């Protein structure tokens, strides 16, 4: 009997590893080894025909910190994150509260909010190009009605990043809405009734009851919005290509440019490592601190 149990146990271990092996091999090939390789290649100089690549330690990082474009893209990305995260969350919350209230044509309203979510970022950028084109674009035409002159939204350093930010918000707010909508539907109606009996105003009810109950959703949405602020850069390829003079360039776009336009792999690697560190810290905060307060499993 004991032998049988031991045999059974060993069999389970073997099956467990066997079942996991495809996933582990693929994850190693396309996530873990590349991460390690990124770190490794960030420590070597860029090899040319005359000067072969050599170990430079933190040299690439020093170069990056001395690079004005690096400073620019980091600041741009901080603005991008700092605006898109809270604004998308607030709009998503407003959308959800409305899409959950008893207004007429609620189905249409929900569809209108959610549809941009399923478009490719490239398509969204093409659509918005129509709005931003100077002279011909919709925004200029609307502006002209009010007597404003033509503005080159995408071609001016002051406005280019904002034009990009608006497209991102347009794209992601409807996605976040559905999570709020789902959370709102789990709030028991008794709470609303109790608040009514107590004579609480709608604002008080929303602020004191609804928002605290939505907190786990807000955290979930915020983490997603943060990840999006790193990875949603496809529209830059259509709208601005990071310009004018780097005014709308974001970190991931710069990584792409360093690696595939300037063929400066070590610099790209150093920048990638920094992004991975930031993402790692985010992951740690999420798993260790935030998940302890919310319950699932």
Give residues 28-57 in contact with another protein (rule: CB under 8 A).
29-35, 37-38, 41
Strand, helix or coil at 264? coil
Indicate whether 262 belongs to the interface with another protein (CB under 8 A): no
Indicate whether 90 belongs to the interface with another protein (CB under 8 A): no
Quickly count helices (H) and strands (E) in the chain. 16, 0
Indicate whether 87 belongs to the interface with another protein (CB under 8 A): no
Of 61-69, 75-83, 205-213, 260-268: span binding another protein (CB under 8 A): 260-268
Indicate whether 95 belongs to the interface with another protein (CB under 8 A): yes
Indicate whether 93 belongs to the interface with another protein (CB under 8 A): no
Which of 115, 191, 211, 245 is the binder for another protein (CB under 8 A)?
115
Indicate whether 71 belongs to the interface with another protein (CB under 8 A): no
Of 51-59, 62-70, 119-127, 206-214: span binding another protein (CB under 8 A): 119-127
**Count of residues in the chain:** 297
Instruction: Give CA–CA dist 22/117, Å, rounded.
Output: 32
Which of 1, 4, 66, 105 is the binder for another protein (CB under 8 A)?
105
- Give yes or no for a contact between 268 and 259, defined as CB atoms under 8 angstroms apart: yes
> Which residues between 215 and 234 bind another protein (CB under 8 A)?
220, 224, 227, 230-231, 233-234
Contacts with another protein, 189-218, as mask; x by CB under 8 A: ----x--xxxx--x----------------
DSSP string across 119-186: S-HHHHHHHHHHHHSTTTSHHHHHHHHTT-----TTTSHHHHHHHHHHHHHHHHHHHHHHHHHHHHHT
Give me 262's structure tokens: 């300037």
Angle between helices 157-185 and 68-100 (to 10 degrees): 40
């Amino acid at each position: 009997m004991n032998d049988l149990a031991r045999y059974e146990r060993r069999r389970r271990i073997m099956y467990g590893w066997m079942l996991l092996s495809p996933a582990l091999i693929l994850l190693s090939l396309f996530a873990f080894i590349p991460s390690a390789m990124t770190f490794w290649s960030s420590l070597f100089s860029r090899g040319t025909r005359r000067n072969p690549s050599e170990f430079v330690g933190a040299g690439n990082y020093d170069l990056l910190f001395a690079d004005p474009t690096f400073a620019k893209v980091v600041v741009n990305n901080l603005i991008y994150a700092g605006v898109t995260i809270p604004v998308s969350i607030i709009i998503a919350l407003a959308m959800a509260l409305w899409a959950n209230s008893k207004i007429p044509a609620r189905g249409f309203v929900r569809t209108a909010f959610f549809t941009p979510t399923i478009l490719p970022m490239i398509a969204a950028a093409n659509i918005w190009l129509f709005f931003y084109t100077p002279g011909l674009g919709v925004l200029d035409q609307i502006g002209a009605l009010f007597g404003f002159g033509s503005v080159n939204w995408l071609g001016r350093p002051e406005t280019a990043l904002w034009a990009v930010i608006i497209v991102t918000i347009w794209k992601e707010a409807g996605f976040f809405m559905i999570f709020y909508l789902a959370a709102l539907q789990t709030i028991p109606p008794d709470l609303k009734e109790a608040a009514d009996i107590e004579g609480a105003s709608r604002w008080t009810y929303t602020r004191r009851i609804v928002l605290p109950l939505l907190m786990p959703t807000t955290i979930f949405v915020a983490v997603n919005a943060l990840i999006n602020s790193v990875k949603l850069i496809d529209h830059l390829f259509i709208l601005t290509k990071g310009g004018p003079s780097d005014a709308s360039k974001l970190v991931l776009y710069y990584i792409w440019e360093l690696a595939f336009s300037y063929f400066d792999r070590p610099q790209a690697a150093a920048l990638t490592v920094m992004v991975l560190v930031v993402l790692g810290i985010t992951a740690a905060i999420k798993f260790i601190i935030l998940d302890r307060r919310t319950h699932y499993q």
